[in-house]
Structure 1
Amino acid sequence: MEPTVRFRVLTDHEVKKLTLNSGIPSTVDELVAAIKEQFAITTEISLQYKDEEFDNFFTLTTTKELKDKDTLKVVYVPLNITLTFSHNTELALSQGNEIYLRDGTLLTSPSVKADILERLAEAMFCYTAYPNDAQRSAVAQALIETHPCLKEPGSFNGIYGWQQSLKYKCGNYRTKRKAMGSPELLINSMKYKMGDDRKPAKYIKKPKRAEVNYLPQHLSGETDSSLENVRLGLVEASKKRDVKSINDMMARTYSWRRMEVVVQSPDVAKFKERWPALFEPFQINEEFRRCAAVPLESVFMSQLDKYTPKLLDLFSVKGGAVGQRIKNLLMELIQDPSTSVVKKRDVTLRCLIEYMGESGQELISDYYGKTESSVHEDLKMRNMQIYVCREPDAVGVIIEGIPVLTDLGNLARACCLLLGMTYALNLQYPPQLCKTFEVFQRLFVGLDTLHPKPSYRFMTLKNKTSELVGQMPASHS
């Protein structure tokens, strides 16, 4: 009988323990399957192991390298879609590229162009129903780089005509998909709008912060009724703390939950009553991954740590009244240079809010010597707030006067998960903190969309941090 083995498993923001009573699996695929089952991971993953000699992680290619109490790291595999056209089109493109490379002759076939536009519109719809100019330009650029025979004759960049054709083709494709019942498109049709909003271009509900699964269709075989029954079962599973069932049902009901938050825009109190399982850190991370295809907490913290030295350099030279407020916040780090990573994150985020021309008091409420319940009572009229209590220690998030997350441990985690909540609940950023949340989204999570256009303050911050990167001395390994 194989001896029991235990592994320390790093998954995004959490450290978990995996016990395998049957010993180390003979293949990596078997180990991956065991980890996915144990931790209810539904997406594709690969594994890395920590090598003691190098003190670093390496891709796991065989389980023979593993032993009891080793550390494994879960790496989520990104989607990789390869676009192919019809057989006739592929043949025409192959021949067209050969001719172009030989004598520069471009391929101008209406039937080939029609097939290409149809396939491109279909592929783009898988990512977003409403591609913007930058996205269409990127697709057109990739097309002519792959098939140079498709360059547009007479165009200043060879792709302008393709961009315009894609614009109209995507519009036609949306019409077709709406007729097939796509929820992301039906929600913007006239019959779903009320009163004065019943205008084609008014209050269009569509992804605005790089959501890739903004309003997906139900899984095959599911209906509104069947998913409502699953939701009721999810409420019961939440009461019993049945983690595996909760994870499975949360993944299964994502489309139903998105329909509710996007179409109905319910009050937070009502939504929390209907979906209690959502309101805890692990599920917020999972919901963010479903919505934006990014592991929220691990990316946010790693990017915050990456930019902290550069940001602190910027903050330290800021002048005026804002600079004075920032210097007061920086005193904690000046007085204790060896302070913890958690404390550096806290100070960096507080300084960031001031640096972006906003007020830390609009986001963070500090308390000393007050119970968490009294803090909740004190903040019941606040729309969106993070509270940080000392003696007793407590950190949590308030939205619409309702405590939605508690026991978060520190300010950085609260900021990160509050960003996740705005995606999970489809909430707009608070107007008085929109620049700060823009940094959270674009810089710390990497969802740096070109539409809507980045603010001037954000671009200034991004450019200055980039300049500092170039000035930093290269490290030698």
Structure 2
Amino acid sequence: MKHGILERIAEEIYRFDAYPNEERCHSVALALITKHPCLREPGSPDGCSGWKNSLMYKMGNYRTKLRKAGCAEVAINAGIRRTPQVGAKGLKRPKRFEVNYLPNLPEGQNKDGLEAERKLLVEEMRKQNPSGTIIAAKMDQTFPLRRREIVEAEPPVKILKARWPALFSERQVYAEFNRIATTHLESDFFDSLDRFTPLFLTIFKSKKGSVGDKLAEIVQQIDSARPDVTALRTLVVRGLPILLGDDPSDFYNTAFVSNCSEAWAKVTVGLVTIINEDAPVSSDPLHLNPLSTGIILEGGTVMENLPNLPQALCLLFGLSYALHLEYPRAMRNTLIFIQRVMLRLGENKLPPRLQTLKNLLLS
């Protein structure tokens, strides 16, 4: 009976996380004995230690079965040679809680069939009024083909945008993130940001030294009498990199309408806020009312006409998953903090600086 229970639980766990850590397995074991008290273990401190250990081993065995059955995702994550051209070197195991890291092709379909669907998707995007329903359905259908292309071939962003134009729309960035991490990025990101904002403001004001001076300049730009939600969010996303020791100078960029193309060409990974030359800087130092905000990858514009900086940062984070991008070195601490603390994705173990900030927010 225990074998059957573990087998069914492993199947269900795999739908959400192929590589659950000890804490996640413990939460499942605790839920199991809560739902079925007769399964509680006598003599165990919490009544489920044995179940937790069994689940850890069972998940390893379950992945082995899937690998032997030809499951591409667990095979590539284990570094097993899949073709003469693709070996263990260069293959990356998911470290950011990508639940669907490299899913198999749908049953009964092959690459040629999905490639034909991709071409139909491109044709739909060329229409003046493309159908959102058709785009969503075909993006769901072609997801395994797209992930194999992105993870294994790692093509330039410019080529990906030409082959998958729908992937660079706001709705599909959020949908793709949900396909990969089974998490609603937009709602979780802004709910967490708004929940932590009062604590962030308190921490910003308490800092001393050069970091405190930089944060004070940002805090002073907000109207404390009537703070706007967008203004507070912008303040936090501007101040968070400074607090975590990152260098956002090449990540957050500002350009005038007349020279925006030159400014975009110099950015590898980052955001660009486009403002009007006639707008006085003193009246809007944080550029809370820009003409537009854009996302830049590999020196090219991939998304533009976004309403504000927090929205653009959220979408850029989603694109880092959708396009399998490494976090930029200059903003690595900030993006890891967003991933692990704000969105609760991945391991709980954090670098000391990030752990200190997490303790302050959760204390």
TM-score relative to the length of structure 2: 0.87
Pick from 250, 253, 271 the counterpart of residue 386 of structure 1: 271
Distance 1:179 1:405 in 2: 41
Distance 1:297 1:273 in 2: 25
Pick from 7, 13, 27 the counterpart of residue 138 of structure 1: 27
Pick from 82, 106, 111 the counterpart of residue 192 of structure 1: 82
**Maintained 8 Å contact 2:76/2:91:** no
AA of the residue aligned to 1:366: T
Q: Deviations over 1:287-322 (max 9, x none)?
A: 112222222223322332232222111101111100
Pick from 173, 194, 198 the counterpart of residue 309 of structure 1: 198
SS of 1:217's equivalent in the other structure is coil
**In structure 2, do the counterparts of structure 1 residues 304 and 157 end up closer, same or farther at CA, with 3 Å as the change threshold?**
closer
Name the residue aligned to 1:364: 252
Distance 1:419 1:193 in 2: 32
**Which stretch shows the higher mean deviation, 211-220 or 407-416?**
211-220
Give the total of aligned pairs.
Answer: 347
Name the residue aligned to 1:30: none
- Whether 1:216 aligns to 2:103 is yes
Distance 1:369 1:402 in 2: 16
Q: Superposition pairs for residues 337-348 of structure 1, below 5 Å?
A: 337-348=225-236
Name the residue aligned to 1:234: 121
CA shift for structure 1 position 402: 2.1
AA of the residue aligned to 2:340: R
Distance 2:112 2:162 in 1: 19
Q: Deviations over 1:63-119 (max 9, x none)?
A: xxxxxxxxxxxxxxxxxxxxxxxxxxxxxxxxxxxxxxxxxxxxxxxxx22222222
SS of 1:332's equivalent in the other structure is coil
CA shift for structure 1 position 362: 3.6
Name the residue aligned to 1:262: 151
Q: Superposition pairs for residues 85-96 of structure 1, below 5 Å?
A: none
SS of 2:16's equivalent in the other structure is coil
SS of 2:246's equivalent in the other structure is coil
Name the residue aligned to 1:376: 264
Pick from 348, 358, 361 the counterpart of residue 462 of structure 1: 358
CA shift for structure 1 position 456: 2.6
Name the residue aligned to 1:21: none
**In structure 2, do the counterparts of structure 1 residues 247 and 118 end up closer, same or farther at CA, with 3 Å as the change threshold?**
closer
Distance 1:257 1:196 in 2: 17
Distance 1:165 1:443 in 2: 28
Identity among equivalent positions (%) equals: 37
- Whether 1:420 aligns to 2:308 is no
Q: Deviations over 1:37-72 (max 9, x none)?
A: xxxxxxxxxxxxxxxxxxxxxxxxxxxxxxxxxxxx
Distance 2:349 2:179 in 1: 24
Gaps of 5+ in 1: 1-111, 468-477
Name the residue aligned to 1:447: 344
Pick from 169, 187, 193 the counterpart of residue 58 of structure 2: 169
Pick from 118, 126, 135 the counterpart of residue 246 of structure 1: 135
Q: Deviations over 1:399-437 (max 9, x none)?
A: 122211111121111111011101111222223312211
SS of 2:202's equivalent in the other structure is helix
What is the RMSD of the two structures over their aligned residues, measured on CA atoms?
Answer: 2.5
**Maintained 8 Å contact 2:244/2:353:** yes
Q: Deviations over 1:268-298 (max 9, x none)?
A: 1221121111112121111112222222223
**Which stretch shows the higher mean deviation, 455-464 or 404-413?**
455-464
TM-score relative to the length of structure 1: 0.67
Distance 2:59 2:189 in 1: 33
Pick from 181, 187, 202 the counterpart of residue 298 of structure 1: 187
Name the residue aligned to 2:242: 354
CA shift for structure 1 position 363: 1.8
**Maintained 8 Å contact 1:205/1:262:** no
CA shift for structure 1 position 151: 3.8
CA shift for structure 1 position 339: 4.5
**Maintained 8 Å contact 2:81/2:87:** no
**Maintained 8 Å contact 2:266/2:299:** no
Name the residue aligned to 2:301: 403
Name the residue aligned to 2:332: 434
Distance 1:196 1:271 in 2: 21
Q: Which has the higher strand share?
A: 1
**Maintained 8 Å contact 1:416/1:440:** no
CA shift for structure 1 position 261: 1.6
Q: Deviations over 1:160-215 (max 9, x none)?
A: 3333322222222112212322221232452237899647xx85523x22333332
**Maintained 8 Å contact 2:18/2:99:** no
Structure with higher Rg: it is 1
**In structure 2, do the counterparts of structure 1 residues 159 and 340 end up closer, same or farther at CA, with 3 Å as the change threshold?**
closer
CA shift for structure 1 position 376: 2.0
Higher relative contact order (CA 8 A, sep 6+): 2
CA shift for structure 1 position 332: 0.9
Distance 1:230 1:195 in 2: 26
**Which stretch shows the higher mean deviation, 413-422 or 138-147?**
138-147
